[in-house]
Structure 1
């Protein structure tokens, strides 16, 4: 079926005349998984477990084995071809993702965040999806609109919500200026040669419905073809200068004029009104559960609030009471949380300081307080309870562009081989501390992303020409990988224990002698220690700890809440990277007046979780 060409063709009333999948009651209960669609699955793998858990034998791509590492770079010509493949379309699609819902469900994922999938400019390989040419159609590299609808149906059947990555700030490189050098220059608009054709030639008239434009030329829907829909002020040079970051082009992606006025007097442009209708359409058409909104800083608070209000009201109208809007908000915590409260977005994507501080904690490079203080009560963010953070930030450790790293881009596991032993700790810390945890595809398989450029963060899970670990032709859907297997155990406990999802959070003081307690800290830029924290919900305390020493087990006395526990009470190990430790007890002891502590032994590069055991009248010992 041909895609609509105009907002007038959408027929939202008809699409809304059905029952939609309900929203989750609390997004902090969910576990997200972010993937680049082109790099995740092409559906041609063999030897993995399908959605029903059965081992498949239909595809041609075999599972990865350690000996396959480097098989794509044996010679320099082969290495050059592998590197070049990372800049182009590789072949992942909606049907491939559809067949991996069982893989995600068994990992413990409950919501999949999919990279932009709308139609791209055909003359450039924007495999990542951020260069949209048609906001009303799915890019044929990924499949069809019906494939998207079926993907969401299959995801819902597997207990997984679907969040789409969307863009309002800009379109793709859909027109050309009349000169080659077009930096933002004080807000001056540049003349435009014309909209581009399918091959990129700017020969189409710059105006409504240019002849011969459909489907691969100009920009769609038709409402975006008016020249005033674009600011036309050239590319951003100063990413922090007011007006420039709002009105300038995002490199060669063309800035859309979204409206005028400050947040309280904002007047939406025809372009923004059209985009609101387009994104309502996709909610109704595919039964989506949320959006991740790209480049919120560059939209401005007025446009963001208008869009958030329009989408929330529409979603509530069709029964999605908690449709989630996650904003990519740069500029630090204060800016992020101010933006949330000003605009009505539900959560900020924690790509600013959270990933690096989490990574440095796990690798023993920084004080644990540097990470935990991000979630503490703070006058800086003007919140009285740090439980507020539990559903207002999406936390990640790896991601697809790593803005926070500057020029040095690589995944957690890059470099020192011991980091692979610690990546489970990073996933566990992310899953059991405040915020909505998000796993970036491949981290559960210990991808390393080595190379120093965005492309190397975007390896193919299905192998193809640009597989992880410098490989090709082998896939990575390995549920026996110890990182995947142990992460699944941790996420299962998170699902079962409400304190891990909604509880208050405390970094705990530790002691080696039972007398002197304090927070662990780095000495000489290195910390090799037990790092412990608690999650408390009502009267339930869960005590958790990692060991930043990759080579030796560590033991420490860890403070617990003195008002909840008495000497002689017992905590039981619910999880440990040393399986022999599971179900062993640790006894609460007095460590001073009204001070209680438990002794934890944490394996080298390990993670442990302890829960207090209580007794029921009829059933005997049980867990909260």
Structure 2
């Protein structure tokens, strides 16, 4: 009897001990605070969490560092451990990978990136728990660094299949023989691939069929594969079959040009499209995503796959998020979207009618950073794109949207998120092994208007190609702070902080050129930025090989007019090896500034 009681006591103690090791209590949510004075002051640094730094070996599982598409072990503790590095670089906001619990792997590819949602309200165990995420936000805020969460509302991971043949299991097979029957007038038996995981788009909805013909809308079957975290989605309301469009995948490549498929189809690869037109779905998404902010006190949203969701959703979602967070004490909350498209008017569309505060400026990436700074195109392209902005983008601030230091709303035209590259496109240096060109592009990025975003590793001259090659591990760089590009970015960030016009000032182009060869002004772009009576003149030379200047006198033109008074001495505050540091405004109000190839000058009144 005594032995039995002793064994029972030991078992109870053991079970309590195991539970105490793993059931970590969740701390109380932090108080909501508004950390941002003006979002145009910020410099965003994009971090792919799994690839940045491994700070906690306890959450390492299913790692495969040899596989570019495997889990590599980065986590939130790793970011906390490298906040000194981030602060030294001079960036002021972190955009981190999605936080929620993700599909572990699918078809041999891991969900390290975070864009295959399974549980919208639980943290990704590879990255840490809610306490650790709160710690990351709090530690960042102590340094004046804001935190932006990545949002997905368009889809879930591949968590169900379409039971097309009604046999209750996921099948993939080929129908038909491919033969032509001459004896039957050339009738064909076409080869058709049928996959119940990822069938081609059907505007009627995916239909079941048997040997006797169609049998109505195909039921969907939720899978249970816990080893890959491919289990029904959470919260449980997302297990409602009617919450999905159930029309199959975009038929590539032509389907991307059809609006119906872009909005209603599954993503190729089996990402199941959520029926975001339903009011109950819209309200649940507001609840889910405000939950993350109320639990952590983070500062903004980067929103994925915006063009794949109806306009009406964004109007409801954006207004709802702003209302809920304002009521909780979180103001000046930024929401900017990813519209992976070069169509400038399409990008701008999502900044109107109460939708988003800003978008990733993809047209600018393609037309300015790729065409001009990488391929040597005419800087006149910068002017042409800028002149289209007033027509294409929202020109009035959104109610309860982002504001400036005086509490005045900021229109989307003044808050576009500019970038050279990110996790979805090849890095700037890929197939362009000219680091001076990268630095010239960074010079423009960090001095022109907009909210600049730098992809992690750019400061270390990373040069990976398309996904997944552009998602390199950061730790082999040893987080070196002595490299030329790191120092280049650091100095530009310091000057941006020192001179308010570089952050908040208006933007007036003073010089662009259609010339790209050996002409006097080939490769030159110059602009003034003014704020509260202070002005800065920026001149950048994108030309690869020649010194150019802000003048066309040799071509029958004149000099560059500026707002500074005649006789004003302008001095370059960007430290470089160019001996020409000072420039005097001529009697006619023009100034000629010469700039070495792929470099720039930031000129202020002496």
**TM bracket (short chain):** 0.7 to 0.9
* 514, 535, 544: which one aligns with 1:541: 535
| 1:261-300 deviation digits (Å, cap 9, x = unpaired) | xxxxxxx1x3332222111111111111111111111111
Which residue number in structure 2 is paired with residue 573 of structure 1? 572
* 98, 112, 121: which one aligns with 2:94: 112
- In terms of Rg, which structure is larger? 2
The change in CA–CA distance for 1:382 and 1:278 in structure 2 (over 3 A counts) is: closer
Q: Which whole-Å CA distance do the structure 2 matches of 1:601 and 1:324 have between them? A: 39
Q: CA deviation at 1:359?
A: 3.0
The change in CA–CA distance for 1:283 and 1:519 in structure 2 (over 3 A counts) is: same
Q: CA deviation at 1:199?
A: 4.9
Which residue number in structure 2 is paired with residue 480 of structure 1? 482
Q: Which whole-Å CA distance do the structure 2 matches of 1:107 and 1:271 have between them? A: 41
Structure 1 position 256 matched with structure 2 position 256: no
Structure 1 position 376 matched with structure 2 position 387: yes
Contact between 1:107 and 1:487, CA under 8 Å: does it hold in 2? yes
Q: Which whole-Å CA distance do the structure 2 matches of 1:123 and 1:443 have between them? A: 28
| 1:359-416 deviation digits (Å, cap 9, x = unpaired) | 33223621112123322365633778999556431011011112xxxxxxx3211234
* 219, 226, 241: which one aligns with 1:227: 241
* 278, 302, 305: which one aligns with 1:295: 305
SS of residue matched to 1:437: strand
The change in CA–CA distance for 1:585 and 1:377 in structure 2 (over 3 A counts) is: same
Q: CA deviation at 1:527?
A: 8.8
Q: CA deviation at 1:32?
A: 0.6
Which residue number in structure 2 is paired with residue 38 of structure 1? 50
Q: CA deviation at 1:560?
A: 5.2
| 1:538-581 deviation digits (Å, cap 9, x = unpaired) | 5433121222344454444495555x333221111111432755
* 372, 380, 393: which one aligns with 1:361: 372
Q: Structure 1: 5+ residue runs without aligned partners?
A: 1-13, 46-80, 202-214, 261-267, 403-409, 463-473, 510-517, 614-624
| 1:38-58 deviation digits (Å, cap 9, x = unpaired) | 11111389xxxxxxxxxxxxx
Q: CA deviation at 1:143?
A: 1.5
Q: Which whole-Å CA distance do the structure 2 matches of 1:110 and 1:118 have between them? A: 24
1:60-459 matches, cutoff 5 A: 85-124=67-106, 125-179=110-164, 180=172, 181=195, 182-190=199-207, 191-192=218-219, 194-199=221-226, 217-237=231-251, 238-251=255-268, 252-260=270-278, 268=279, 270-331=280-341, 332-363=343-374, 365-376=376-387, 380-381=391-392, 391-402=414-425, 410-417=426-433, 419-450=434-465, 453-459=466-472
The change in CA–CA distance for 1:165 and 1:524 in structure 2 (over 3 A counts) is: farther
SS of residue matched to 1:486: helix
Contact between 1:301 and 1:339, CA under 8 Å: does it hold in 2? yes
SS of residue matched to 1:535: strand
SS of residue matched to 2:535: strand
SS of residue matched to 2:313: helix
Which residue number in structure 2 is paired with residue 589 of structure 1? 586
| 1:557-613 deviation digits (Å, cap 9, x = unpaired) | 495555x333221111111432755xx3221113xxxx4222323234322111112
SS of residue matched to 2:363: coil
Q: Which whole-Å CA distance do the structure 1 matches of 2:336 and 2:389 have between them? A: 22
Q: Which whole-Å CA distance do the structure 2 matches of 1:346 and 1:337 have between them? A: 10
1:454-603 matches, cutoff 5 A: 454-462=467-475, 474-509=476-511, 519-523=513-517, 529-537=523-531, 539-557=533-551, 559=559, 561-562=561-562, 564-578=563-577, 584-590=581-587, 595-603=588-596
Q: CA deviation at 1:140?
A: 1.2
Q: CA deviation at 1:308?
A: 0.7
Contact between 1:375 and 1:389, CA under 8 Å: does it hold in 2? no
SS of residue matched to 1:507: strand
Which residue number in structure 1 is paired with residue 212 of structure 2? none
The change in CA–CA distance for 1:105 and 1:476 in structure 2 (over 3 A counts) is: same
Q: CA deviation at 1:112?
A: 0.6
Contact between 2:352 and 2:393, CA under 8 Å: does it hold in 1? no
Q: Which whole-Å CA distance do the structure 2 matches of 1:435 and 1:216 have between them? A: 40
Q: Which whole-Å CA distance do the structure 1 matches of 2:390 and 2:155 have between them? A: 35
Q: Which whole-Å CA distance do the structure 1 matches of 2:383 and 2:71 have between them? A: 39
SS of residue matched to 1:352: helix
| 1:514-535 deviation digits (Å, cap 9, x = unpaired) | xxxx735235999954432222
Worse-superposed segment, 178-187 or 148-157: 178-187
The change in CA–CA distance for 1:241 and 1:549 in structure 2 (over 3 A counts) is: closer
| 1:187-232 deviation digits (Å, cap 9, x = unpaired) | 314424521213589xxxxxxxxxxxxx862111111111111121
Q: Which whole-Å CA distance do the structure 1 matches of 2:219 and 2:54 have between them? A: 39
Q: Which whole-Å CA distance do the structure 2 matches of 1:245 and 1:500 have between them? A: 38
Q: Which whole-Å CA distance do the structure 2 matches of 1:536 and 1:347 have between them? A: 22
